[in-house]
Structures are given as structure tokens and as C-alpha cells.
Chains A and B, each alone.
Chain A
Amino acid sequence: MQVAADHALPLTTASVGAPARRLDPNRLGDHLDRLYRAAWALCGSREDAEDLVQDTYTRVLQKPRFLRSEEDLGYLLRVLRNTYFSRLRAAARRPRPDPLPDELDRVEDRNATAPEAALNASELYARIAELPEPFREALVAIDVVGLSYREAARALRVREATITTRLYRGRQRLARALTDGDPDGGLG
């Protein structure tokens, strides 16, 4: 275990006292791309990422949500993360369904990236998904989703210093994995 100084972030009186505001469901689409990337980095596959984002939005839209002192994206990232772990636990309890048949009609997706670019992105996301969980979450929150250190710390409920250390180590492992395929190579 390489994570040090891993303390839960205490709930401050400032956050408790801040006025609540309702999460606007009509603005959720603004964060779709970034949540999708976060989901992909967590799951390691596009298909699972799509399912995860869909489940996340379904969960969020089930009832009105009220936020205190928190950015929408940070909140959504935390829901996504919780949904991810819920799905992992549920998947462990039930058999996996067979894959869909291949003869489905194909429809052009203008948002899709070029095949050669997709290959690189798939490799990168797969590498990120292989990182140890704390490092992966920090890297996803800051480098993939684009949260600030403060926002990421709040979303993941850890201290900013902890997030920064985890990010450093996540990047270090990712760089080594991309270079020689061994994320642990040379790590002490």
C-alpha cells in the first residue's frame, strides 16, 4: 500500500452552513463528455462506460438533488464513482449476460473518433483503468475530468495534499506503463 496520509476530509461548518441549491437536471448534459471519460477510465471499456454513465444519470434524476458548496461536476463524479462500486458489487453476485449478436444495423456516429485515434485512446484508458484505485481516482478527477485539486479533493472526500500525492503516483505509474508496459517497474 503506497498511499500515505490518507485521511477522510471532515465536514466543515462552512459547508454545512452554506445555502442549498437544486441541481438543475437540464444542465446535466453539460457534463456528459467528462463523465463519460471518467467512466471509461474507471471501467477500462467504452461499453461499460456507457452503461455506467447511464446508470449514474438515472440515479441522479430519480429525485431532486440539493447541493451545498459543491460544483455539479464534482458531485456527479462522486455519484458516478459510487455507482461504479455498486455495479461492481452487483456484478459479482450475478452471472454476466451473453454479448449482443454482431448482425445489428450499424449507424454512423458522428461523435466517434477515427479508428486510429480510438486505438490510442483505448490503450490509454485501459492503462488508467489498471492503476490502483486511489491513484486512478485522483488521476481521473484531475487529469481526465479536469477538476481542480480542490474540487477533486472535495469530490473524493480526501485532503488536497492527499489528492496531489495520489495524482503524482498515478501519473508516475501511467507514464511507466505507457513507456514500457510495466506500471510498477522501478517503483520503490
Chain B
Amino acid sequence: MKMMIFRDRQARVDPIERELARLADGTLDPDRREALERLVAGSPELRRRLREQRQAVLATRTIAQPERAPLALRTGQSAAAASSATRRRRWIARRPVLGFGLAGAAATVTLALATLGGGAAGLTVAQAATIAVRPAIATVPEPRDDSVTLPQLRAAGLPFPYWEDRFGWRATGMRRDRLDGQLLTTVFYRRRHELIAYTIVDGPPLPAGTSARTILRAGTSVKALPTGEASTVTWLRDGHSCVLSGVGVPLEDLVKLAAWRAY
């Protein structure tokens, strides 16, 4: 009897469910991804199922994830941690504990950058940087040994850098968007709990705005935008705007990455 129940349960497992789930959020193995995408392309049923997965992913990442804990809860948690530290002397002195999760940070990016928007005059750097709050929709291939760029991934003919070995930033995903008629390709990099987005705009250079500050580093002219808790820098590569942004990441780190010219 037990064996019959077990078989019945197994029969209900559809392996493609797992692959569709991973394809939707960009965690499917790249080797398997191409095959599955071909399969999906030829099946209206699978296209519908994948669309549902992506719809849910999009909803949770764009609506649910930007939510932050309310002030009262932050204050209470901070006080509780402090109280706990007081009770136990072996717990070291209190450090700032206000959390700043990636998704909450993303919301701040949106708010900060929204104030710098370029209005109807065309796409601006600030608007391009809002891509940073969107989720990755595909994985990025691993580089070969000693490579300083990510393989098979170009935008406007330009490769994206491989930063993991040198700076600790691991490429975790990518997405493509069309904003104001221009194609934006973005690669997301993660280092511990920090996330940054590197966008290359396939089009003419974007205006950075009059409030941008110019920093000259290693021969590269980098413009830094004042975006509150979010850091955003932009510079040109072969006449194309590149935008690097992140929350809680020191501006100096972004400038260093922008000025790195090993690729």
C-alpha cells in the first residue's frame, strides 16, 4: 500500500515544472536553457506556463521586494539588540544595525533617481539607472580562465567586464530593456550583500544632467550623479553611455570599476 502511494506521488511530479521555474528566474543551467527555450518556443502550452512563472516572479520582485520594514519595527529591533548586548557582556558593543536589504535598497534607487528624470526630452542617465531595480531575467555565462570579459555577451559591440577575481563582484544575471527607443543591456553583479547594475546603452550618449560631478580617474572621465543613498556613475565607451549604479556601495568603488580598463 505504501509503495502504491509513493508511485502515485511520483507520477504527479512533472520535471519540466522545475525547469520552467528556474528558466523564469534565470537560475536554469545555461546548457539546459537553450534546449528548453526551443521547446517552449514550439509549444503554446509551455509558453503559457512560462509566462505565468515570469508574471509571478515579476510581481514579487517589483512589488513585494521593495517593501521595507516600518520605522517602528526598526527602532524596536535596534533597541532589542542593544538590550540583549547589555545583558550579555560577551556580546560586543553595538554597531549600527539598521538593515538595508537589496530590495529595499532598490526602492530607494527608484525614488532617488525619479527625482533626476529627464522628462520628455529623451532618455537620461538617471532613467537608464532605474534598470538597477529590475530583476535579472537571464544568467550570464562563466568566463574562461584569465578572461577579463564575460563571454558571448555584448551590447553595442562592447563586452561586459569580468570583475570577480580582481574586485570580488560576481556577475549574477542580465536583462535587456528598450527605453525611449534605445536598447539597454544590463548585467548585475553581486558582492556579498551588495548589488550593482552595469548598463550599456546602444545609442547616442545620454545626458547626465547639470548636477553631475566629473571625476577624472586613470584617464577616464566619470560623471557621478547625486542620487542620495544610491550611487550612480556614467562614462563613455566608444561613444556609448555606460551606467553603473548600486545602493549602499561607496561611490569610490563604482568610480574604480568604471575606470578599470583591462578589457
A residues within 8 Å of B by Cβ?
2, 4-6, 25-37, 40-41, 46, 50, 53-54, 57-58, 61, 64, 107, 109-113, 117, 120-121, 124-125, 128, 139, 142-144, 146, 148-149, 161, 164-165, 167-172, 174-176, 178-179
Contact = CB atoms under 8 A, between A and B. Distances in A.
B12 interface: yes
A53 B55 CA distance: 28
B63 A121 contact: yes
B67 A36 contact: yes
B65 interface: yes
B77 A32 contact: yes
B81 A25 contact: yes
Contact of A4 (B9, B55, B83): B9
B36 to A, nearest CB: 13
B65 A30 contact: no
B191 to A, nearest CB: 15
A77 to B, nearest CB: 13
A178 B55 contact: yes
B13 A64 contact: no
Contacts of B41: none
B118 to A, nearest CB: 21
Contact of A5 (B10, B20, B52, B102): B10
B72 A109 contact: yes
Contacts of B88: 64
B74 A31 contact: no
Main secondary structure of the interface of A (DSSP, over half): helix
Chain B interface helix/strand/loop/mixed: helix
Given A168-B21, A174-B56, A146 B66 contact: no
A171 B24 contact: yes
A175 B64 contact: no
A168 B9 contact: no
Interface string B50-65: 0111011101110111
28 contacts: A4-B13, A28-B97, A29-B99, A31-B99, A32-B77, A33-B68, A33-B101, A33-B103, A37-B103, A50-B72, A53-B73, A54-B76, A58-B80, A112-B70, A112-B71, A113-B107, A139-B56, A139-B60, A143-B61, A146-B65, A149-B22, A164-B18, A170-B56, A171-B21, A172-B52, A174-B56, A176-B52, A178-B59
3 nearest A-B residue pairs (beta carbon): A29-B97, A171-B56, A33-B101
A28 B78 CA distance: 9
Nearest to A27: B97
B64 A168 contact: no
B59 A4 contact: no
Given A4-B10, A50-B70, A165-B13, A143 B60 contact: yes
Interface in B16-43: 17-18, 20-22, 24-25, 27
B53 A28 contact: no
A29 B98 contact: yes
Contacts of B73: 32, 36, 50, 53-54
A37 to B, nearest CB: 5
B92 interface: yes
B64 A30 contact: no
Contact of A164 (B22, B52, B77, B99): B22
Contacts of B100: 30, 33
Interface string B73-91: 1101110110111001001
Given A146-B103, A172-B56, A53 B69 contact: yes
Select the residue from A27, A58, A168, A172 with max chain B CB neighbours within 10 A.
A168
Contacts of B77: 28-29, 32, 53-54, 57
